[in-house]
Structure 1
Amino acid sequence: MTEPRVLVEIDGPIAYVTLNRPDKLNGIDLDTIDGLIAAAATVRADRDVRAVVLRGAGRSFSAGLDFGAAFADKKRVARYFVAGPRRLNRFQRVNQVWRELPVPVVAVVQGHCYGAGLQLVACADVRFTTPDATWAILEAKWGLVPDMAGTVPFSELLPADVLMRLAMTGESFSGTRAAELGLATEAVEDPLAAALSLVDQIVARSPDSVAATKQLVYGTRRGTARRAWRLERKLQAVMFKARNTSIARKAGAAKETPEFGPRTFG
């Protein structure tokens, strides 16, 4: 029986989403794309999930798109590439879904983080990497451009000249350098432990305010100040009415640990 390309394990408030082709350095093929999109849908539907840990099985996060496997069915590739003028195609959707989830997504990187894998990591909300991991925006090696929704987070995380250098050359760089550039959040010897430490802090807060904060941050990265102010007011009005906000306020006043209910926002 073929192992699933993507594993989803829900352990209490944490969903572990794992790329599961370790023998191929978690190279991404079309079935992996389908598995990741399905995994995001599973997480979204479970309102008790408070955070996602996104990782790769084995010694690498992902060596990028597996061209041989992905392009074996050219008709399927063509279907995945087509998109309407205001819609994402499936190659873009597989990464954008993680930015759209109403829970934080924390990526754990080791080994290789190349091409499509790096674009997936960039679409996580927080990224912990081992110092010796190897990162590369590798599409230039194949005469291509990044086209899996990674350019939006790349442009948010990196100055234009740095992004152009990395995307035009496809040069590789370490996890330490990724953190120095701001592409990774932090380079640490045990990125999974760092991810879980952060998740513990997030889980201690209202799941509704966490979801609203994620929407607020991404919703105000671009556009006018007036638009940002409107979004602030809109989200805060919803938070005032949320049951978990009341739980947080009562627990804070009583100096007790809050016991939140399921997420109601997002």
Structure 2
Amino acid sequence: MKDRVSIDVSEGVADVRLVRAEKMNAVDGAMFEALIEAGDICAADRSIRAIVLSGEGRGFCAGLDFGSFQAMASGPRREGGGSGERLLDNEGRITSRGQQAVYTWTEQAVPVIAAVHGPALGAGFQLALGADIRFIHPEATMSVLEIRWGLIPDMTGTQMLPRLVGLDVAKELTFTGRMVPGTECVELGLATHLSDDPHADAMALAREIASKSPDAIRHGKRLLSQVGQVTVAEQFADEARTMGSLIGSPNQLESVSAYFEKRDPVYED
């Protein structure tokens, strides 16, 4: 994993980086597995309260490694997408392995913030969409690039993209594969904030989030993420139950005590 993805955890924040800089962090089979493994590691570590996802070198992620396209062109057709790296078999999960490399960040219990610079194309684009919040450099570029290769976004992009930009814009971007500059990404809703230093700003926000009650943050993310996937009645009932479970809990009482005592709270993981 270490030759594809690194994880550095400090003060409740996991700094997760794609480290294949010499290939613009292009995704190959090893990168798929490394992203899934890194996601599993973060999910199992209760001390992590926020995650920053970024890429080293000149860009966030240039997409699928070109060698994979060559394998698609020359190899036999495979179920679930042309290359053997994206077979549907994924140990009983609802995702293929390629989808899980992105979905592992979406399903994290804690907030995930993507820091995007340079290109975020195809697989890299979908990886950025798997985060909860995105900081993007004005000169960065995002694209649903799969149409160039006669493909469709198959790493959860068809689920996430319409939720962010609306169905009509999602269709346009998917049908054309046009390059979207960072400034327009924010205008469309593909990114949350413009930043001259996306990683620094993402880390600052992650540290702020990590300073809040981890119980409230985790439940807040879960409730907001399920909007549109449950009925309104179920959402209201879940909201009420969650509030009841938080009131009087140790971390909620610590929030109140720290505020009135004018000190930093000390939360239980």
Q: Give 2:55's aligned residue.
A: 56
Q: Where in structure 2 are there 5+ consecutive unaligned residues? A: none
1:231 to 229, 233, 238: 238
In structure 2, C-alpha distance between the alignment counterparts of 1:232 and 1:71, rounded to whole Å: 49
Q: Give 1:151's aligned residue.
A: 158
Q: Give 1:142's aligned residue.
A: 149
- Trace 1:82-161 onto structure 2 (pairs within 5 A): 82-83=88-89, 87-161=94-168
* Structure 1 letter corresponding to 2:29: L
The alpha-carbon deviation at position 78 of structure 1 amounts to: 3.7
Normalising by structure 1, report the TM-score: 0.91
Q: Give 2:40's aligned residue.
A: 41
The alpha-carbon deviation at position 237 of structure 1 amounts to: 2.8
In structure 1, C-alpha distance between the alignment counterparts of 2:167 and 2:209, rounded to whole Å: 31
In structure 2, C-alpha distance between the alignment counterparts of 1:79 and 1:72, rounded to whole Å: 10
Contact 1:219 1:231 in 2 (8 A): no
Q: Give 2:182's aligned residue.
A: 175
* 1:120–1:79 Cα change, 3 Å: closer
The alpha-carbon deviation at position 40 of structure 1 amounts to: 1.0
In structure 1, C-alpha distance between the alignment counterparts of 2:47 and 2:181, rounded to whole Å: 36
Normalising by structure 2, report the TM-score: 0.90
The alpha-carbon deviation at position 130 of structure 1 amounts to: 0.4
In structure 1, C-alpha distance between the alignment counterparts of 2:268 and 2:93, rounded to whole Å: 36
Q: Give 1:259's aligned residue.
A: 266
* Structure 1 letter corresponding to 2:54: R
The alpha-carbon deviation at position 41 of structure 1 amounts to: 1.2
Q: Where in structure 1 are there 5+ consecutive unaligned residues? A: none
1:205 aligns with 2:241: no
In structure 2, C-alpha distance between the alignment counterparts of 1:86 and 1:98, rounded to whole Å: 14
Contact 1:71 1:77 in 2 (8 A): no
- SS of the residue corresponding to residue 247 of structure 2 reads helix
Q: List, as ranges, runs of 4+ consecutive aligned residues in structure 1 with deviation greater than 6 Å.
A: 73-76
Q: Give 1:195's aligned residue.
A: 202
* 1:149–1:14 Cα change, 3 Å: same
The alpha-carbon deviation at position 67 of structure 1 amounts to: 4.0
The alpha-carbon deviation at position 89 of structure 1 amounts to: 1.1
Aligned length: 261
* 1:70–1:10 Cα change, 3 Å: farther
Contact 1:127 1:186 in 2 (8 A): yes
* 1:61–1:47 Cα change, 3 Å: same
Percentage of identical aligned residues: 36
- SS of the residue corresponding to residue 9 of structure 2 reads strand
Contact 1:208 1:242 in 2 (8 A): no
